[in-house]
Amino acid sequence: MAPFPSHPIPLLFLLFSFLPLLSLSAVDQPYKTYIVRIDSQSKPSIFPTHYHWYTTEFTDAPQILHTYDTVFHGFSATLTPDHAATLSQHPSVLAVFEDKRQQLHTTRSPQFLGLRNQRGLWSDSDYGSDVIIGVLDTGIWPERGSFSDVNLGAIPARWKGICEVGERFSASNCNKKLIGARFFIKGHEAASGSMGPITPINETVEFKSPRDADGHGTHTASTAAGRHVFGASMEGYAAGIAKGVAPKARLAVYKVCWKNAGCFDSDILAAFDAAVKDGVDVISISIGGGDGISAPYYLDPIAIGAYGAASRGVFVSSSAGNDGPNLMSVTNLAPWIVTVGAGTIDRNFPAEVVLGNGKRLSGVSLYAGLPLSGKMYPLVYPGKSGVLSSSLCMENSLDPNMVKGKIVVCDRGSSARVAKGLVVKKAGGVGMILANGMSNGEGLVGDAHLIPTCALGSDEGDTVKAYVSATSNPVATIAFKGTVIGIKPAPVVASFSGRGPNGLTPEILKPDLIAPGVNILAAWTDAVGPTGLDSDTRKTEFNILSGTSMACPHVSGAAALLKSAHPDWSPAAIRSAMMTTANTFNNLNQPMTDEATGNVSSSYDLGAGHLNLDRAMDPGLVYDITNNDYVNFLCGIGYGPRVIQVITRSPVSCLEKKPLPENLNYPSIAALLPSSAKGATSKAFIRTVTNVGQPDAVYRFTIQAPKGVTVTVKPPKLVFTEAMKKQSFIVTVTANTRNLMLDDSGAVFGSISWSDGKHVVRSPILVTQIDPL
């Protein structure tokens, strides 16, 4: 396996001090947005406020976009690179970094989490009515039934937020359900100024207000906390009762992402700052980078904002990203963030391609228009020509003479799946077969296509292409089978779900767990049709989407219920309860598999397993983590005190003997053994558990050792009493790295479980080899 990056001491807060002096005068230099991290304690007493200090000493007032004072101390401003470089040398400035753009990670799921009405978690917590979930996303369509406040009690008295008015959004759009709404646009507007590379917001299709023009934010908010809506469906698909995971929890929305324009770091940080100040208990953020490239924690505003939130007791749930099944594709890696991958649920929307030779191929579709009614149509694969754009059915790539009146085979990738159908339709095609390539494998998601379409896995796609090239007059039809419930096996890890290992700090296993993220029905905006395409004029109250974006709010809603039932639990305790009780078996009672390969999935795919809320309610033991533990972890990965202060806000000091990052009290264990070692190598891990079950309890361990690895545990049992709620233990992992047979992902996997006869507290163990750089 390729060596992991080591942890050099980063001094990037001096990022701009080494830039060569540019030959342009300051006037000619382009303005860019920078986020400036200030040591707030160094403010001279002469200034009444930090804002006065910033506008006097650092930059002019018109340049400042946001000031931050809760999760982060400092400001964002439009500056020239020279000005930014000068600022970075100021003794009160801890860091200066350029604003960057992030992307969105785009009715049966509550039952599938182990939630049953009036039983277990839903009844015990009064459905979370005292908990406030903040959703950082594209805003909300407030009129949806999912956001009704019928029979909800008074807004929690501690709430300090507002309902910000703007285009088509008034104070009356908030209620006892949607208790707050704000929008953050200054970072985006600065980036799209006259000299910026970003397209300005198109006000004909977007609202300068918390109103959602995209749909993503409405969908995630209602997934976390939507009220019961009867008779919900998306054009007849997935019919039934729609409800969020925590239907009585309150919602506060923070619009940071803009239609077709992404989400800027400076705006995201401002939203974190506002949400924590407003009094949210949970933050749900289905946003992040892509391509498996993660900025170090001190340059990542989601990590910085999330630390500020978690250190004040706010649970932060984020999506693992949609760049799976590639290894090291997981994003949002900070150990104080809960990182959520996606699994399937036991509901599907099957469709079938019938070829002229009688072969039937199974796929999926959410097409709801006029069916083909069994009529056979000529079949064509434009990719036969060898032209890539034609094989992908890109805009203007299809010859109408070739596709008119035919079903067209299009390869998946490079453009939106639904947009390919529109290209086929414009060229006169009557239907589309969307074929996966190798990278997507057999992973399928349903789409509300504008023409009759069936998505096929790569094997079936190859079968269709082989039939086209071997037949002189190939024909086919597509049949749509509606909604099927009780699919087995489920859950299966979605092929797109971001995978480990953790590319920043491999000592921490990511993702943490998976939750439902494929074909999820939830509320939708009225501003666009279900495909999100400009030409899609259909209106729908609900839409079915897939992505780790959909999995993240399931965990946010679950955290609200757990917080409601256990108000004294920290964010780390809530995460621990979810991870140590997660399922690793599917509904056939077999180990969960990976949609991309069909093989048994590993901890790099599903973390600790699939969320099981009923069990998380009563986990027995939890692995708690304090702010001080996180500081020791940051010291352990080589960050110096000034760099750590960028994240933690308050000054810190690191011990002379560097703590080991793997001793962070995480509910999973990742053993990194040096591949150069001769003979057996051992690594010891210290963990501490807190008893949250019956006061008098005795726990004994069982080990599933990774293949070729010996695992020992001391002491052999943990005895808890009323007076003794915490106990520590040491796990020692030993292996001979010379003959360790690692799997395709470069690791071997096992687990340690503690049980008192009633509870089982399970933690994954992974062992991998690294070459010290």
State the Cα–Cα distance between residues 517 and 493, nearest whole angstrom: 9
| 3 state SS for 115-157 | CECCECHHHHCHHHCCCEEEEEECCECCCCHHHCCCCCCCCCC
**Catalytic (active site) residue 76:** no
State the Cα–Cα distance between residues 184 and 300, nearest whole angstrom: 18
DSSP secondary structure, 316-342, as one string = EEEE--S-TTSTT------TTSEEEEE
State the Cα–Cα distance between residues 604 and 607, nearest whole angstrom: 6
State the Cα–Cα distance between residues 587 and 209, nearest whole angstrom: 44
Q: Are 424 and 432 in contact (CB under 8 A)?
A: yes
**Catalytic (active site) residue 624:** no
Q: Are 215 and 206 in contact (CB under 8 A)?
A: no
**Catalytic (active site) residue 137:** yes
Match 């690895």 to its residue by tokens.
Answer: 709
Exposure class string for 34-54: b at 16+ Cβ within 10 A, else e: bbbbbbbeebeeeeeebeebb
Strands 760-770 vs 747-755: parallel, antiparallel or unpaired = antiparallel
Active-site residue, selected from the candidate residues 7, 66, 83, 216? 216
State the Cα–Cα distance between residues 77 and 99, nearest whole angstrom: 9
Active-site residue, selected from the candidate residues 130, 137, 323, 346? 137
Task: State both tokens at 86.
Answer: 């000068």
Gyration radius from the chain CA atoms: 26
Q: Are 318 and 336 in contact (CB under 8 A)?
A: no
State the Cα–Cα distance between residues 244 and 225, nearest whole angstrom: 4
By residue count, the chain amounts to 773
State the Cα–Cα distance between residues 253 and 275, nearest whole angstrom: 9
User: Which amino acid, one-letter code, is at 246?
Assistant: A
Task: State both tokens at 392.
Answer: 């992908």
Match 């020692």 to its residue by tokens.
Answer: 732
Strands 377-380 vs 407-411: parallel, antiparallel or unpaired = parallel
CA distances from 251 to 120, 556, 608 (A): 23, 11, 28
Task: State the angle between helix axes of 301-310 and 265-278 in degrees (0 to 180), rounded to the nearest 10.
Answer: 10
H helix intervals, 194-264? 216-225
Strand partners, 685: 731
Query: If DSSP codes are grouped into helix, strand and coil, which group holds residue 737?
Result: helix
Burial group, residue 260, by CB count within 10 angstroms (0-12, 13-18, 19+): middle
Task: State both tokens at 278.
Answer: 């407003």
State the Cα–Cα distance between residues 67 and 87, nearest whole angstrom: 16
Task: State the angle between helix axes of 627-636 and 641-648 in degrees (0 to 180), rounded to the nearest 10.
Answer: 140
Active-site residue, selected from the candidate residues 365, 549, 602, 603? 549
Task: State both tokens at 50.
Answer: 């930090």
Q: How far apart are the first and last CA of the chain?
A: 13
CB-side exposure of 436: number of CA atoms within 13 Å? Answer: 22
Element housing 687 (H / E):
strand 680-691
Query: If DSSP codes are grouped into helix, strand and coil, which group holds residue 591?
Result: strand
Torsion sign over Cα 680, 686, 692, 698: positive
> Of 571, 662, 577, 656, which is closest to residue 612 (Cα–Cα)?
577
State the Cα–Cα distance between residues 220 and 104, nearest whole angstrom: 11
Task: State both tokens at 501.
Answer: 């290992």
Task: State both tokens at 389.
Answer: 């754009």
Task: State both tokens at 698.
Answer: 């005795």
Residues classed as catalytic:
137, 216, 549
